[in-house]
Structure 1
Amino acid sequence: MSSTVTYTVSGMSCGHCEKSISEEVSGLAGVTAVAADAKAGTVTVSSEAPLDEDEVRAAIDEAGYELTGRAA
């Protein structure tokens, strides 16, 4: 069962930020696509199955940003 979730992220301000987050989150097992949007402050993650939010949070933290929640 595939899953797509959009998270809100604080600290993103440019294309470099988007790339850093995309690279870290793409490394998680099962992730099929990542779309970071600095302007909107969101990261949309598609995966083969629902991901553990703590794993996504850890990947975003590793990139130097903070997952602040799920977008509405």
Structure 2
Amino acid sequence: MNVDLSGAQWFKSSRSDATKECVEVAFLNDDHVGVRDSKNPTGPALVFAPGAWDTFTAAVIAGGFNR
């Protein structure tokens, strides 16, 4: 999937400390969601389809990625 990210408005979590390395998220056209590394903003980004993003965030909330 090729998505133009040039106009994306990226943001970090409000819980993010400005000195920490974080991921940034952008809500894109067609309800897709972009995710990128904040310390490499010109690097690659992941783009999630709406259903995949919902599944991912539900798993995070449920603790599915806790170690």
Q: Higher strand fraction: Structure 1 or Structure 2? A: 1
- Structure 1 length-normalised TM: 0.29
